Amino acid sequence: MSYSKKIEYEIVPKETFSVIRNCPGCSRKTHFQNTKKFRVNANGSRLDVWLIYQCENCKHTFNLTVYERQKAASIPQKEYERFLSNNEQLADAYGKNLQFFKKNKAEVDLQNVEYVFQKLAENITDCRHDPQTYIIIHNPWGLKLRPEKQIAEILTLSRSKVKKMLEQGELKMDAVSSQLISFYVPNHFTGQS
């Protein structure tokens, strides 16, 4: 299908992810938040580094492993100092790093995350007479958001309106996966006729 305009967005989380796990203090599954505090333990020439998470109900804590029995010499001095000073940027980076959670076998809540749509690119193509816009929304963190919700937010329409447009073929889905959706929509919905 041809189109006159292509717009790409990326869904970017605004905050670090919380972890869902059984809390011994609450005796049930709760959300644990990133405290943005590291714990460093030196054991001879080896280092352990953890990022501390805390139950949002009872303040029970648990540690996610950043380094385990790592040779101290192999950790750059600058990074080591950032652990010691609880560098917030570093804690944020780990708190959004899905590999880090996976390594720790921690279940991440990808459903209740605040996010923004960041526009990556907007291109006008040669077929200017085609009244369609092609929109791609990248979701690299795999946040759990229904496609209609993403579309409604991008086009600032209600979800019921989007549903109706999909049913009537006014809006056509192209690809749908957990990390990307794309669709075609008439230009006037994206502020250009």
* Options 58, 73, 124, 175; binder of Zn ion; rule CB under 5 A: 58
- One-letter identity of residue 56: E
Is residue 25 a contact point for Zn ion (CB under 5 A)? Answer: yes
Measured between alpha carbons, how far is 12 from 118 in angstroms, rounded to an integer? 7
Q: Give yes or no for a contact between 18 and 138, defined as CB atoms under 8 angstroms apart.
A: no
Site pattern 100..119 for Zn ion (x: CB under 5 A): --------------------
Beta bridge partners of 122: 7
In whole angstroms, how close is the CB of 61 to Zn ion at the nearest point? Answer: 10
Measured between alpha carbons, how far is 37 from 172 in angstroms, rounded to an integer? 46
In sequence order, which residues have a C-beta less than 8 Å from that of residue 169 and are 6 or more positions away? none
Is residue 157 a contact point for Zn ion (CB under 5 A)? Answer: no
SS3 78: helix
Is residue 140 a contact point for Zn ion (CB under 5 A)? Answer: no
Is residue 57 a contact point for Zn ion (CB under 5 A)? Answer: yes
Is residue 51 a contact point for Zn ion (CB under 5 A)? Answer: no
Q: Please choose, from the candidates 98, 177, 134, 138, the residue with its C-alpha nearest in 3D space to the C-alpha of residue 11.
A: 138
Cβ closest to Zn ion, residue 19 vs residue 165: 19
Site size toward Zn ion (CB under 5 A) is 8
Is residue 55 a contact point for Zn ion (CB under 5 A)? Answer: yes
Cβ closest to Zn ion, residue 107 vs residue 122: 107
Report the interface residues with Zn ion, using CB under 5 A. 23, 25-26, 30, 55, 57-58, 60
